Homo-oligomer: A and B are copies of this chain.
Amino acid sequence: MAKANERGVTPQSEDFSAWYNEVVLRAELADRGPVRGTMVIRPYGYRIWELIQGALDARIKATGHENAYVPLFIPESHLRREAEHVEGFAPELAVVTHAGGEKLEEPLVVRPTSETVIGEMFARWISSYRDLPLLINQWANVVRWELRPRLFLRTTEFLWQEGHTAHATEEEARAETAIALGFYEEVARDLAAIPVVAGEKTASERFAGAVSTLTLEALVRDGRALQAATSHFLGTNFARAFDMTFANAEGALEYCNTTSWGLSTRMVGGVIMTHGDDRGLILPPRLAPYQVVVVPIGRDADLPPVLEAARELAAGLIALGVRVRVDDRPQLSPGFKFNEWELRGVPVRIELGPRDLAAGVVTIAERLAEGKEQRPLADAVAEMPERLTAFQAALLDRATRFRDEHTFRVDDWEGLVAATAVGFASVLHCGQLSCEQRIKEATKATPRCVPFDAPDEQGDCVACDGPSAYGRRVLFARAY
């Protein structure tokens, strides 16, 4: 820790926001782009995104969805066809007014999301119930003008996947939104080691144009909630706006029921904020670009045999499917490398010096543990997959414990204020917008979701003593 502070990472407890920005920049996850609010995702950060993509894409395809690509530009008039949708997105739009050296007859919106283009295409492609369900996904960039940008969490442009599906019935479409939320929950829990709360958004937090929005909410280390992914049941709203109909088995025309769902590069921010500590990042092995870093130690004549042994060690790990890097940069000291890889959150570091080599051992330092341990070289290799699995599980346990310790069941105003200052407040709420707003003004907290797994419960609103809505408790928190 002393060494990390020498490098000047602000402690989380002192200024979480400064800690976050410093870690993102110094770990070389991302950098700021030339245009305000834009982000360059550097190779170390992009590799994390690729690992998320790979796992999510496999799940999406295994359930019958197909990837496609729709254009970046949307005619402004298209966006206006769904009234709530355009109202929700209007303040965030970037608009192309000139192209090819001329002023355009109609301005083009840079997509903030693609429901409206999909609406037009689906209307063109769907004619019969035999064309349904239509299950499409795309990996793409989207643009939403952000007034308070933050790397990964809120950037003017971000990368995501957006699923778009059309169904013959409301029941099928609602089932689809649950399937998509299931992908996201698996990715969050099993890859990112983030324990998320799955639930439904209240009306004020719904996607613009949706009938119902399902969400996953994480709780990060400064006690704020982070929306990790959402899945929307759009009813027939977009189908009506784009005349998306199908002939049913009896030949009568019906509107499709549609869904959309997305997970973005924001998830990388969630990983950083959920697991990091004052030394920097801690990466879950399943998302770590390097799961193991081998640091060879030695000078002059001692170095070549150590380097050779380090490379053999790495080859043994690669053969077991471990992502490993030998840090053989000659100009840097071992101490500098230890600090750097701690800052960059590599789960396991192996140190290998001439005395280790002579004794047939290696020194292992795990990013979650305080000390180091020595292991016979062959065992260190053979045990590594199991060690990484255990590390992954320990990280999820740690985050789950944190989340549970920062979730409070409260029934009065003082309790609400105290809970939302440090985490989730689980409360009964009247569901009135005016009451939500009063809570927000006093605590900055908003309703994050009505968790699916909350038991049936009714009573008085935590804030206004009106009768509770939703039939169960709601989670409130300050949110990113």
Chain A interfacial positions (CB closer than 8 Å to B): 31, 33-35, 38-43, 46-47, 50, 66-75, 78, 90-101, 107-108, 110, 117, 120-121, 124-125, 130, 136, 140-141, 143, 145, 147, 156-157, 159, 329, 331
Complex Cα–Cα for A97 and B108 (A): 11
Complex Cα–Cα for A94 and B93 (A): 16
* A98: B residues at CB distance < 8 A: 94-95, 97, 107
Q: Which of B35, B71, B90, B96 contacts A34 (CB 8 A)?
A: B71
Complex Cα–Cα for A33 and B98 (A): 19
Sample (7) of A-B pairs whose CB atoms are under 8 Å apart? A31-B124, A34-B120, A38-B73, A90-B101, A94-B98, A130-B331, A140-B141
* A95: B residues at CB distance < 8 A: 96-99
- Considering the complex, give the chain B residue whose CB is closest to the CB of A49: B69
Complex Cα–Cα for A331 and B130 (A): 9
* A117: B residues at CB distance < 8 A: 33-34, 40
From residue A313, how far is it (CB to closest CB) to chain B in Å?
21
* A331: B residues at CB distance < 8 A: 130
With A34-B117, A50-B67, A136-B43 in contact, is A143–B72 under 8 Å at CB? yes
- Considering the complex, give the chain B residue whose CB is closest to the CB of A99: B94
Contact B67 A43 (CB under 8 A): yes
* A72: B residues at CB distance < 8 A: 38, 72, 110, 141, 143, 157
Contact A147 B100 (CB under 8 A): yes
Complex Cα–Cα for A95 and B110 (A): 11
Which of A35, A39, A46, A156 lies at the interface centre, i.e. has the most chain B CB atoms within 10 A of its CB?
A35
Contact A38 B93 (CB under 8 A): no
From residue A162, how far is it (CB to closest CB) to chain B in Å?
14
Contact B68 A46 (CB under 8 A): yes
Contact B91 A66 (CB under 8 A): no
From residue A137, how far is it (CB to closest CB) to chain B in Å?
9
Contact A71 B121 (CB under 8 A): no
* A124: B residues at CB distance < 8 A: 31
* A108: B residues at CB distance < 8 A: 35, 94
